[in-house]
Structure 1
Amino acid sequence: MSNTRAEAAYRRSAAAFRNPMLGLLHGRYAPFVVASLSLVFTADRPTVAVSDAHAEVAGIIDELRTEGYDDGERRIPSGTAREICRYWVKVGWLVPQLEDDAEVYRLSAQAVGALEVAGRAGGGRSRVSQSRVRTLLDSVDRLSVDADDDPGARIARLRAERDALDAEIARLEGGGGVEPVNEQQLLEEAEHVIHLARELPADFSRVAESIKQMQRDVVGDLRRDVRPTGDVLHEYLQRGQHVMHATPEGRAFAGALHLIGEPEYIDRLSGRLFDLTSKPFARLLDAGQRADLRAIARRVELGVDEVLTAQRRASHVITTQVRTHDPIRDRQVDDLLRDVMAGLQTWMQTSRPGDRIDPLRSFPVADVGNLRQSLSDVRPPGAPEPLTGRDVDVDYLDDEDRSWGGPHYAELERHLATLGDTFDLGAAFEGGQSDSRRPVDLLGLLEIAHRNGMTEGDEVTVVEATRPDGTSRRFAFGSVTARTTREQPHD
């Protein structure tokens, strides 16, 4: 049994040391990494342009090597600053991102936590102080109150608190003075506040990274979702709109945001911190502690902005992915990428260093021999076979079939010959025989009028045509007057 417990404990410990935070602190160049990251990234400078970070890390390396910090146990990693920073990105200590169309670095939550651990270890051991114990007792009391659902007990506690506050107010109004607090106790409380504030950046970074990880998971799930876009649209848009509540860290931050999200609170917090640094006990704080105390409000503001920026970016990415979601296209892209990776792996087995592959500059053209090569010649390749036999015999059509045919030109010509030298198209159509007042016969009359020479008027003519099945349809057109016979050219 003991071996099983030891093995389980060892596995938990091994998993913990695979965390990038412990990897940073336990690494071969941990002092250099901690020193460099703490110099490049500060509370007022949470993100640094990639080129600036490379230049600053290069300057740190040059200074340390000049002082002899590249031999023995005082080790500086080899390689350029760019290679070192890229390695830090690979192991999860730096996070590259786009900010105002420029690539920047920011510390990951694990790196922030590692710097905080290193800072606490280098600043002396923690002390059991009245402030720490009171914070613990207050937290236990608050937990007990929030967990108690007995109305009577809550009313009793509230009344006791009210009585104590009334008694204190009465004492002060009666001339009682404010009992001064020992400066050593104030110093301990200030150190405890600084200790708590140092943990905030890592907490904010963990919330932002959990949101980004959720974003990547959602996009990955969406790409693997083979349902139609209409089925997944509502579901994923809902997840994008409520991205803050999709992770435990996000839900915890949403609750804390009610306390620190208002700009008035940040301003009030900044004012109180400034007042504290002007109190007499503040002289007991060193310069670094006073700077940390003044930077608390700024740290809170930057942390909230980091999380909200991650939320907006995740919502935008998820919404954009949903709107452009095409399962068939995504599968084709995935298949293409898998084919490329498979081909690359096959090529790597037989290639040698320095081998090159000629890029594909254009797609091959299919050689199809039975299609016309040019679109300029619209003539068919050969004349059609002549019609024979029944194909030219129209006697098999009955009267009903004929009634659905084209215009009755002969009947229309004979009808127009009775109307004089000119005719009105609408009147000629209305005066024709019943079997010549179909919609197609109206078009036939218009064709004859155009052929003989017609004149269009401004008035609108409305006629009613009757189909062979008895249904009717009304047509409206500009009035047309035409000759009954084609106009002969003059000599």
Structure 2
Amino acid sequence: MAVARGSVAGVLALAKLRELDVTWRLLRAEHADVVAGLLGAHLGGETRRMPAEDLVELLDADFDALRGQGFDLPRSATAYVTEWRTGGFLLRRPAEDSRGETLELSPEALTAIRTLGSLAEPRSSVTESRLASIAAQVHRLAIEVDPDVERRVTALRAERDELDARIARLQAGEVDAPDPDRVAEGIRDVLQQAQEMPTDFGRVRARFETLNRDLRERIVQADDSDRHVLDEVFRGVDVITDSDEGRSFAAFTALVLDPAVGAALEEDLDLLVASPGGSGLTASERRFLSRFLGTLRDHGREVQSVVTTFARGLRRYVQTQEFQREQALRRLVQETLALGIDAARSTKPYRETGVELPLSSLTVRSAGAVALFHPGELDASAPIVDRPPTPVDLAALRAIARETEVDWEELRGAVAAVLAHRGSASVADVIAARPATQGVASVAGLVTLASETDAEATGEEDVTWRGLDAVERRARIPRLVFHEVPG
């Protein structure tokens, strides 16, 4: 019966995994071949992240080509991208250099694409180089954990003697050319493991995101007897950085960013690619190996930036006491639920309460529903009628100009006529002798002309004029005296 219970438990665990695991969901999706083929080509190679609009544009062209090959893809690329994002195949993140968003494959989707890729291009998993690598690693671990010091010393001396013998043979000119097939086999094993590294980075980033969310939930749910995380953050400890995942990733990043390690790794990769065994590599495989260390550094810096951002955000979340508002909201929600449970014993949930809650009047619409104006749709079918030219009425033009412009020539003529009979005259004197034909515009024009002659104000005076509506008006203005006709 124990075996039966274990078998049933295993089936139940797999059934739960089938419903929740994104990798399994992609493998049994209706268009799994389309998802894996297109997303793997656009986001599974050297390009790991792309603006959403660029990916949609590429997929539109791919869908047109696939429909021509008989694939049933009735919806648009935008609809499929939304479905794949909801299904967990794509991750959406805000773009760093714009207001848009970027899309990238989730770690689970990358795993599924790798699995399907291994089915399409099967490779032998039992190779001599892989077995030799496993044996060498097991041997090194066995030496490190062996409690017998004498055996450890003997094993290390044997390794040293073997290295000395190889050095002596090389110095004597005995150079054994490696088998190109074995070298190629080892390179492909290394390549296969290296291609899995970006997936591991994606899992690390997802793990840090989950850890950040869990820590915030613990802070909100913490009571007076469980405030360990809160106290740690208040003391300035980066809980995320000091977690097991944070310490492991920090050690890995330090190793990758070590200049000595990086230089040695790049030199070794260049030797492998240039060796006879590397001649069978494709151009994409050569490019991947040549950029491998740079890719690791880029992913490492990206994840390190995410860790730092999460740690700072968590500290700011606590220090600004934002968590207290969420704690208060959580208590209110719990109290409301408790009251609802009590009320459910005597009140039906569909009973009318008589309380009206006005909803927001904001209408949320998709940006895709906005229709752009098309100038070509403007109705210009009415014929254009040519009007014969008419003679210009100079009197009418002059009248229009006087309504909009000050008649400076008329004002200068009025000043000249008054000064011809007297040595000086103020603005009021000019208006009294020559009426203001433009109303207040004539008064303002005379004041402007007097100011241009550097006339100084010698007190104030009253000015009376009759406006264009024949109504008499009066104003008090500075007394400005003309001694000459303004130019």
Give the match for residue 69 of structure 1.
Answer: 71
Structure 1 contact 57–81 (Cα < 8 Å) conserved: yes
Three-state SS of the structure 2 residue aligned to 1:106 is strand
Give the match for residue 437 of structure 2.
Answer: none
CA distance in 1, matches of 2:235, 2:88: 30
Partner residue of 2:214 out of 205, 214, 217 = 217
Identify if the C-alpha distance between structure 1 residues 183 and 229 changes in structure 2 by more than 3 Å, giving closer, same or farther.
closer
Deviation at 1:360, TM superposition (A): 7.2
5+ long unaligned stretches in structure 1: 71-75, 351-355, 362-491
How many residue pairs match? The answer is 346
CA distance in 2, matches of 1:93, 1:327: 32
Letter in 1 for 2:314: I
TM-score (norm 2): 0.63
Structure 1 contact 43–299 (Cα < 8 Å) conserved: no
Letter in 2 for 1:143: L
Structure 2 contact 60–77 (Cα < 8 Å) conserved: yes
Give the match for residue 416 of structure 2.
Answer: none
Identify if the C-alpha distance between structure 1 residues 157 and 232 changes in structure 2 by more than 3 Å, giving closer, same or farther.
closer
Letter in 1 for 2:28: H
Structure 2 contact 236–315 (Cα < 8 Å) conserved: no
Identify if the C-alpha distance between structure 1 residues 38 and 319 changes in structure 2 by more than 3 Å, giving closer, same or farther.
same
Residues 266-281 of structure 1: pairs in structure 2 closer than 5 A: 266-281=262-277
Give the match for residue 296 of structure 2.
Answer: 300
Query: After superposition, what is the alpha-carbon deviation per residue over 1:324-361, rounded to whole angstroms, capped at 9, x for unaligned?
Result: 22454223444677899999xxxx989xxxxx964279
Structure 2 contact 169–175 (Cα < 8 Å) conserved: no
Structure 2 contact 219–230 (Cα < 8 Å) conserved: no
TM-score (norm 1): 0.62
Identify if the C-alpha distance between structure 1 residues 61 and 266 changes in structure 2 by more than 3 Å, giving closer, same or farther.
farther
Letter in 1 for 2:15: A
Letter in 2 for 1:64: L
Deviation at 1:231, TM superposition (A): 7.8
Deviation at 1:224, TM superposition (A): 2.0
Give the match for residue 233 of structure 2.
Answer: 236
Structure 1 contact 116–198 (Cα < 8 Å) conserved: no
CA distance in 1, matches of 2:181, 2:316: 56
Identify if the C-alpha distance between structure 1 residues 160 and 349 changes in structure 2 by more than 3 Å, giving closer, same or farther.
farther
Give the match for residue 91 of structure 2.
Answer: 95
Structure 2 contact 241–311 (Cα < 8 Å) conserved: no
Partner residue of 2:33 out of 26, 31, 34 = 31
Structure 1 contact 97–105 (Cα < 8 Å) conserved: yes
Identify if the C-alpha distance between structure 1 residues 340 and 197 changes in structure 2 by more than 3 Å, giving closer, same or farther.
farther
Deviation at 1:185, TM superposition (A): 0.6
Deviation at 1:214, TM superposition (A): 0.4
Deviation at 1:130, TM superposition (A): 1.2
Deviation at 1:203, TM superposition (A): 1.1
Structure 1 contact 239–246 (Cα < 8 Å) conserved: no
Bigger RCO of structures 1 and 2 (CA < 8 A, at least 6 apart): 1
Alpha-carbon RMSD: 3.4
Letter in 2 for 1:259: L
Structure 2 contact 317–323 (Cα < 8 Å) conserved: no
Structure 2 contact 22–88 (Cα < 8 Å) conserved: yes
CA distance in 2, matches of 1:218, 1:28: 37
Structure 2 contact 27–112 (Cα < 8 Å) conserved: yes
Partner residue of 1:190 out of 169, 181, 187 = 187
Structure 1 contact 233–323 (Cα < 8 Å) conserved: no
Partner residue of 1:253 out of 249, 252, 255 = 249
Deviation at 1:213, TM superposition (A): 0.5
Partner residue of 1:166 out of 164, 167, 174 = 164
Three-state SS of the structure 2 residue aligned to 1:69 is coil
Give the match for residue 77 of structure 2.
Answer: 81
Deviation at 1:135, TM superposition (A): 1.1
CA distance in 2, matches of 1:217, 1:90: 22
Structure 1 contact 20–111 (Cα < 8 Å) conserved: yes
Structure 1 contact 226–327 (Cα < 8 Å) conserved: no
Query: After superposition, what is the alpha-carbon deviation per residue over 1:33-60, rounded to whole angstroms, capped at 9, x for unaligned?
Result: 1012112214432211122222222222
Three-state SS of the structure 1 residue aligned to 2:80 is helix
Residues 150-161 of structure 1: pairs in structure 2 closer than 5 A: 150-161=148-159
Give the match for residue 174 of structure 2.
Answer: 177
Structure 2 contact 215–229 (Cα < 8 Å) conserved: no
CA distance in 2, matches of 1:151, 1:268: 32
Letter in 1 for 2:165: A
Query: After superposition, what is the alpha-carbon deviation per residue over 1:193-226, rounded to whole angstroms, capped at 9, x for unaligned?
Result: 1111121111111111111110000111112224
Letter in 2 for 1:322: V
Give the match for residue 126 of structure 2.
Answer: 128
**1:331 has 2:323 as partner:** no
Structure 1 contact 243–315 (Cα < 8 Å) conserved: yes
Three-state SS of the structure 2 residue aligned to 1:243 is coil
5+ long unaligned stretches in structure 2: 341-348, 352-356, 363-487
Structure 1 contact 109–206 (Cα < 8 Å) conserved: yes
Give the match for residue 12 of structure 1.
Answer: 13
Identify if the C-alpha distance between structure 1 residues 189 and 85 changes in structure 2 by more than 3 Å, giving closer, same or farther.
same
Identify if the C-alpha distance between structure 1 residues 289 and 10 changes in structure 2 by more than 3 Å, giving closer, same or farther.
same
Query: After superposition, what is the alpha-carbon deviation per residue over 1:371-429, rounded to whole angstroms, capped at 9, x for unaligned?
Result: xxxxxxxxxxxxxxxxxxxxxxxxxxxxxxxxxxxxxxxxxxxxxxxxxxxxxxxxxxx
Question: Sequence identity, in percent?
Answer: 25
Give the match for residue 46 of structure 2.
Answer: 44
